[in-house]
Amino acid sequence: MNLVNAAVLPPADSLVKRLTRLNLRLLSMTMLLTFLLLATVTWYVARERQLHSAELSARLLANSVSPMLVFADRIAAQVELEAFSRRSDLLQVQVQLPDGTVFAHWQAEGQAAPLHALAPAGLARTGIRSSVGWSALEVWAPVRLKDELVGVLVLRESLASLHLSVLLLSTVAIALMVLMILVAWRGLVLVQRSALRPLVELSHLAEHIAQERDYSKRATIYRRDEVGRLSERFNEMLKRIEIWQADLRHQLEQEHEAGQKFQRLAHKDALTGLPNRLYFQGELQRHLALCVDHGELMALMFIDLDNFKKVNDQYGHEVGDEVLCEVSRRMSAAVRSRDVLCRLGGDEFALILPELPDEAVAEQLAQRLIDAVRVTMTISGAVMPIGATVGLAFAPLDASEATALLNASDHAMYAAKRAGKNTYRRAQHGMA
């Protein structure tokens, strides 16, 4: 099947306009045909009546002039023809002798000379003869005395009046026809507008839905005809789309939530609930970029717990886990709200300190963390021999790049371990 793309179709007139036009065309054609038929029949009947009347008159006149022919009384015949000439539409009338000689003649003003027409052969035998042209008719009537042919009467009549009457009648009929078409046009517009209203409304609704994507709208059902059933199916389709859309929205929301949850889990340490190494790496890059852009001071602390292996070995892994959680809580409570504390893994933690006013603030915080971890920690009735060692590096003083800054803080932490643990050390220039 050859499908036509709707987009390439030119814009068309409305359905009401198109149907009205088609109906009017059909009505006009029918009326015109009827008019032509009636005009033709009227013309034909009128012409036949005129011919019949002319034949009758010719017969009567032939009888009247018969004795005048016998007595060769031309004057009487001429008077008779003059009297006959009062007949309307008469153009010419003449009485001929059987040999064709004109005996008496009358013609209307402007008409040509006598007819000089020869009587049709066999006129005496067949009686009256006639012929009808477009503008006139002619009648030949034999003039007899008893059964003997004594002459021929020729009569010519104009058909102009007949044509004029038919033309007048036609003009009136055409005017009436135009009037009727105008009335029908108004009527058709009203009727079709009312009949096609459900279909037009359905089309407007489909247009609105296509533009607004509002599937909550419904078509009004006026009657249970074809358009009514189409509207019903359209409404069912809208309902299905609405349900399908709601399902899709719900599914998308769920997927979005699951994605966000997954994102949170991917960035969270499952044991302590602190941000993990993956999150730390991203945040360190971001804060370093901000620090370089704004020309601010920031620090990175590398924190490693002391004697944690001993806790694990002596009290078990579960107690070790509890220690990690408690240490996380204590350190979280000690840091500033804008600082980012992360667990890198094992007993290692990292703390990003953005927007520092000076280096002393970071050193004070390092000491505060060490002190917080050193506060006696009792788990399952045993005091944990736990402590924290901190390595401190500054950006952009010690490094401006993430790996270099992490290395510097890591080296500083090892320096602090070597110095006897439970303390902090600043990175020395060149450590990174």
Ligand X SMILES: Nc1nc2c(ncn2[C@@H]2O[C@H](COP(=O)(O)OP(=O)(O)OP(=O)(O)O)[C@@H](O)[C@H]2O)c(=O)[nH]1
Residues at the contact surface with ligand X, assessed by CB under 6 A? 271, 304-310, 312, 317, 320-321, 324, 346-347, 417
Neighbours of 255 (CB within 10 A): 10
The two tokens of residue 3 are: 């499908």
CA distances from 264 to 100, 114, 257, 258, 273 (A): 130, 125, 10, 10, 10
- Indicate the residue among 218 and 310 with the shorter CB distance to ligand X: 310
In whole angstroms, the minimum distance from the beta carbon of 360 to ligand X comes to 27
- Indicate the residue among 227 and 327 with the shorter CB distance to ligand X: 327
Q: Which helix (H) or strand (E) holds 37?
A: helix 15-70
- Indicate the residue among 1 and 375 with the shorter CB distance to ligand X: 375
- Indicate the residue among 106 and 308 with the shorter CB distance to ligand X: 308
In whole angstroms, the minimum distance from the beta carbon of 278 to ligand X comes to 16
Task: Please give the residue whose beta carbon sits closest to ligand X in the complex.
Answer: 320
In whole angstroms, the minimum distance from the beta carbon of 389 to ligand X comes to 7
In whole angstroms, the minimum distance from the beta carbon of 315 to ligand X comes to 9
Q: d(Cα 262, Cα 260) in Å, to the nearest integer?
A: 5
Q: Which helix (H) or strand (E) holds 316?
A: none
Q: d(Cα 117, Cα 130) in Å, to the nearest integer?
A: 13
Longest dimension (CA), the chain: 178
Q: d(Cα 33, Cα 36) in Å, to the nearest integer?
A: 5
In whole angstroms, the minimum distance from the beta carbon of 379 to ligand X comes to 12
Instruction: Provide the H-helix boundaries in 71-159.
Output: 74-84, 123-126
- Indicate the residue among 22 and 265 with the shorter CB distance to ligand X: 265
- Indicate the residue among 219 and 305 with the shorter CB distance to ligand X: 305
DSSP 147-165: TEEEEEEEEEEE-HHHHHH
- Indicate the residue among 43 and 424 with the shorter CB distance to ligand X: 424
In whole angstroms, the minimum distance from the beta carbon of 421 to ligand X comes to 6
Cβ burial, residue 152 (10 Å; 0-12/13-18/19+): buried
In whole angstroms, the minimum distance from the beta carbon of 325 to ligand X comes to 10
